[in-house]
Structure 1
Amino acid sequence: MPLSKISPLRGFLSATVILVALGIYVVANAIQLGADYRLVTRTHEVLRHLDRIETLKHEAVAESRGYLLAGRGEARDRFWRVSGELHREAALLLDLVADNAPQRTRSQKLLEALDRRLALSADAIRTFRPGQAATINASAARVSAIRAGDVDVARRLDQLRQAERVLLALRSQRAERSAWLVLLATGIGIPLSLLLIGQAHRRLARENRVRQQAEAAASASNAELNATVAQLARLSDSMGALSHYSSMLQGASDAQELYEITSTTFRRLFPGLAGMLYVIRASRDHAELIAHWGSPVAPNDPSPEPHACWSVRRHAPYVIDDLRQGMRCPHIGRPAGAEAVHGVCIPLSAHGEVVGWLSLQGEGRGHIADESLAVRLCEQLSLALANVRLRESLRHQAVRDALTGLFNRRYLEESLAREIARCQRRQQPLAVLMMDVDHFKAFNDRHGHAQGDAALAAFARMVREMCRPEDIACRYGGEEFTLILPETDLATALERAEDIRAGAALLRIGDAGGALLRITVSIGVALMPDHGDVGLELMRAGDRALYRAKHEGRDRVAVAAGASAIGAI
């Protein structure tokens, strides 16, 4: 198979197998080369011992002859000393060739020949008497034996040397062959492995380029999802804190709890940073600093314009490496000290609308640590804040009348029962005012529904302005309105009713350039417990009083029958 067709995995596996096999082969040859080197070293040592034996043999012969010729005692002593050394060298030679049977046999025979030759010299020394030199020299038999011994020792030394030289040549040749084989295997195996690895790397790089091109051609939604997954993977160590924060936000009942949870969470996760949370007002004219924690290292505007933050303008986090020198957001002042201050502003955006931003500041230059975690937390805060606002809007729509802004009939029924129970516990009275705009159908027919709606809205606005915080003003339906006055006696209720009636008569409906229209209202008053202690009974009593006021001429206040105070005004 051509190298260009080999897959990256096969290439890497093949290169691995070759390198492993090469390593095993090199180790094995290295072991063999070491063994051959030791054998070569031993052969050289054997040759040195043979040379030493030959030298000692000649020295011993020379000392014996010197003693026999001159009769010097020191020559005799040196002969015996050299003879001992010669025997020790011969014994060492036997140990060196112990693993080679032929050489051991030759060494044993050499030792025997040395013993015979030294024995001749020793006998000559022991039998020598001063003045007998001529007699010894004349002994032809002894001279012939000595010569034969010298020849025998020399021949055996040559045999041993020749055998060791042959072994040396063989062992040296084998060592050289092992070294060349290692070099050959290394020279072939390593380039081949590198070639396979390089080819596999090129194939892998080409496949990566193809895969990257395919990924680049994916849809924008997949790319965004992959980016989100990658960011979540990098923030895996912070998922516990993020999950806890998200669950706490989901359990918050209002915006104030969101701010408190956010302040506590950021103070715990970013202990060395100061934080400021800004929320843009519904009017979009300015933002408000609604929460802060830590010690700010730079002055901050408590009510900046919405576009005073670069993160709001860019719809992305804005990082400032050094607030003293970098491009600061207009809502951040210059730090007073000489130390560097870094920071980041993160927009709070939900459903395509920026509702505020979070500003974090810390001492020193650089970026905020765990900036991606802060961004994730702000995303959760943005969604939670949008959900709270949506819940508040839905709650407002559920209990408020869209035209007048007053509470609707459903909220009226629930609140009336609650307020009756509360006043009963406190043993306090409660008044209910049932109000109706006089001749409203004729007003609509004559001036149009737009003017009719304007009249209802103007009347509702006036009622709201005249209410106490604990009063509950509701649109009962059509042109009918209801006002619940907790802890109010009949005299006070009649006074409030008369104020509302008089105020309605003073209202002017219409544009400044056109004719100004007027309305009047009729009001029926019922009191708990005089006219009942159930919400439905009070409202019916108030309705009956309202009908009586209309029957008596409208634009007046009437009290439900059975009241012990004033009648109708």
Structure 2
Amino acid sequence: MALLAGLLLEGSAQTRASLAWVIHSSQVLKTANRAMGHLQQAESGERGFALTHNPEFGETVEAEVGAARAAAGELVILTKDNPAQNDRAVQIRTLIGQRADLLEQIAKQTRAGDFTGAQAAVASGRGRYLMQLVEARVSDLLNEERALSTTRTDVVDKRLSYITWLVLGGVPLTMIFVGYTAATLIRRIRRPVDAMMTVMGQLGAGDRAARIDAHMESSEFERLANGYNAMAEELEGAVADQHESQDRLHVANAELSRNTEVLRERGEVIELLGGMAHRMQAARTDDELASIIRVFVPRVLPEIPGALYAHNNSRNLLVPIAAWGGLDVASSGFAPDQCWALRRGQSHFVVEPDSDIVCAHVGNQTDHYHCEPLLAGGEVIGVLYLKGVVGTENRFRLTVLTENIASALVNHRLQRGLREQTIRDPLTSLFNRRYMEETLALEIARASRSGSPLSLVMCDVDHFKRFNDEFGHDAGDAVLQAVATEMRSRFRDGDVVCRFGGEEFTIIAPGTSAVTLAARVDAVRQSISELIVHQGGRALGSLTMSFGIASWEDSMERDGSTLIKAADAALYRAKREGRNRVLVDARSETLTA
């Protein structure tokens, strides 16, 4: 099992590393395209400025040129791991810088009123030549990076196949080993029991010389065998007192039978609890864990109704996990101080009226019950409530049962916590981008099968950089947390609200068209514009957001990339048209119509 776990961990680590390289290639591709896009926008703005003399186009040139330079610089940093790609990135940065200088020169001439000179510079063809060089270098870089991405994706597929075969082969072998161990344990119990039963049968038939000579394989059975042999020796030496010897024989025989029955029952209980523990360790959800408990606990403790309670996340309530035997329990649970077993850290039970203090969570209607605390690592994690009397013969069953349940609850909560960490953004507690991409692909497949609508919202905080520049990054974090809280409370339970990255957020809205969703999104926009965020005892000023909405259609890519681009384009258009607004992608409006 340790070897299987080690191989799986090693395979997972290699897969994670390969995925990191695939993501890196994706970042390089996106950054290169972004640099090219900003440069093309700047070129369009420059032409508009020179032709229309509209100063708004001049502002676009400066912003897009700055963004193109920044993206080119980021591209050089991202490709440092690959010398060939880095050389191409450096060339791209140089060419973009030259083209940007020319654009800024033309914009400067236009602002100075030298429109003739600006138009002459545009008509000279140098800008077009530089742009062709940029496009050629970017195309070379993109082709090379796509080839690298394909190679790295193939490596990930191979490693995932390796892990799959490892699981398919290792898990059956482990199960065979566990089954073999259980069979060996049962055999080691049954063999001495059979030997003792054989000798007892011989003795009952009148053979007083019969003795247990077989190897008992355990100290408990050895003590039983030695006790039996000593009894037989004494019986043989006391033939004169036949009646007394017969009484002693009956007593010893009854004791052996009881011990044998106890051992047999304990063997069955251990086997049953082994199956229960194996299933609880494999449970993935709270409902699965509750179903296992409802099935197995009544078999371990038959005819005793009960319920299992566990601490909630705040540890201020014991909430019901499962109930069995027809017992009805309140879903609200009860406070820890209402149970004497939790207060004392040990069993607490009432076998008849007024025999002990009754727990507050039981009420006054029960005159016999049993509360058993669940302990793991010295910590109380819950309580097992049984509406009945747990006799001496069931104490062993109850002890082993509570140990198994406590261990399973701790393991289940650990697995659930680790899962939450992998899909949640630590700052805003929203789902992260990885979870968003997985969920979007799943919802697209569902919408494609059912024909139901699916919409996506891309949004970000307007002028977010101002908060960081004026008040510091802590203020920027406070703004993101306030926005996340507001969106989480405003969108439906079925909508998936995610942090896309930085100040950008994404909302997946299944079963809703873009036009229908726009009204709800506008209400969210209005509520955010009314927020007053405080940080460090000071108000951070007004806060607005821009939103872009797009709907899925069959012509889009199944991985969601086309849908994201459409929503992002609508968001960008909302930014250009003045921010603090909700815009729907043009194709989505046509699709809805």
Cα distance in 2 for residues equivalent to 1:304 and 1:490: 45
Q: Secondary structure at the match of 2:386?
A: strand
Aligned: 1:313 with 2:339: no
The alpha carbon displacement at 1:405 in A equals 1.9
User: Which letter maps to 1:249?
Assistant: M
Runs of 4+ in 1 over 6 A off after TM superposition: 231-234, 298-302
Change (3 A) 1:361 1:502: closer
**Structure 1 length as normaliser, TM-score?**
0.53
Query: What does residue 356 of structure 1 align with?
Result: 382
CA RMSD of aligned residues (A): 3.1
Q: Secondary structure at the match of 1:369?
A: helix
Aligned: 1:254 with 2:278: no
For the Cα contact (< 8 Å) 1:301–1:332, is it kept in 2?
no
The alpha carbon displacement at 1:562 in A equals 4.2
Cα distance in 2 for residues equivalent to 1:367 and 1:300: 27
Query: What does residue 504 of structure 2 align with?
Result: 480
For the Cα contact (< 8 Å) 1:545–1:560, is it kept in 2?
yes
Q: Secondary structure at the match of 1:542?
A: helix
Instruction: Output aligned runs, 1:413-492, within 5 Å.
Output: 413-492=437-516
User: Which letter maps to 2:288?
Assistant: E
For the Cα contact (< 8 Å) 1:443–1:452, is it kept in 2?
yes
User: Which letter maps to 2:334?
Assistant: P
Residue-by-residue CA offset, 1:116-151 (whole Å, 9 max, x unaligned): xxxxxxxxxxxxxxxxxxxxxxxxxxxxxxxxxxxx
User: Which letter maps to 1:325?
Assistant: S
Aligned: 1:557 with 2:587: no
Q: Secondary structure at the match of 1:362?
A: coil
> Please, which of 372, 391, 408 is the counterpart of residue 346 of structure 1?
372
For the Cα contact (< 8 Å) 1:323–1:343, is it kept in 2?
no
Cα distance in 1 for residues equivalent to 2:496 and 2:329: 44
For the Cα contact (< 8 Å) 1:321–1:367, is it kept in 2?
no
Residue-by-residue CA offset, 1:208-267 (whole Å, 9 max, x unaligned): xxxxxxxxxxxxxxxxxxxxxxx9999445211221111121222212222222222221
Query: What does residue 571 of structure 2 align with?
Result: 546
Q: Secondary structure at the match of 2:346?
A: coil
The alpha carbon displacement at 1:375 in A equals 1.8
For the Cα contact (< 8 Å) 1:505–1:519, is it kept in 2?
yes
Q: Secondary structure at the match of 1:347?
A: strand
Instruction: Output aligned runs, 1:150-299, within 5 Å.
Output: 235-294=266-325
Cα distance in 2 for residues equivalent to 1:558 and 1:300: 48
The alpha carbon displacement at 1:532 in A equals 2.8
Number of residue pairs matched?
330
Residue-by-residue CA offset, 1:462-516 (whole Å, 9 max, x unaligned): 1112222221111001110011122222311322332222222111101696435
Q: Secondary structure at the match of 1:273?
A: coil
User: Which letter maps to 2:343?
Assistant: R
> Please, which of 409, 419, 438 is the counterpart of residue 385 of structure 1?
409
For the Cα contact (< 8 Å) 1:431–1:527, is it kept in 2?
yes
Q: Secondary structure at the match of 2:356?
A: coil
Identical positions, percent: 39
Query: What does residue 224 of structure 2 align with?
Result: none
Cα distance in 2 for residues equivalent to 1:235 and 1:261: 20
User: Which letter maps to 1:308?
Assistant: Q
For the Cα contact (< 8 Å) 2:433–2:500, is it kept in 1?
yes
Change (3 A) 1:509 1:403: same
For the Cα contact (< 8 Å) 1:300–1:332, is it kept in 2?
no
The alpha carbon displacement at 1:563 in A equals 4.8
If asked which structure has higher relative contact order (CA below 8 Å, sep 6+), I would say 1
User: Which letter maps to 2:401?
Assistant: L
**Structure 2 length as normaliser, TM-score?**
0.51
For the Cα contact (< 8 Å) 1:531–1:563, is it kept in 2?
no
Aligned: 1:505 with 2:535: no
For the Cα contact (< 8 Å) 2:323–2:329, is it kept in 1?
no
Q: Secondary structure at the match of 1:370?
A: helix
The alpha carbon displacement at 1:372 in A equals 2.4
> Please, which of 427, 448, 456 is the counterpart of residue 403 of structure 1?
427
Q: Secondary structure at the match of 2:357?
A: coil
**What are structure 2's unaligned runs of at least 5 residues?**
1-261
> Please, which of 346, 353, 359 is the counterpart of residue 329 of structure 1?
359
For the Cα contact (< 8 Å) 1:299–1:334, is it kept in 2?
no
Query: What does residue 151 of structure 1 align with?
Result: none
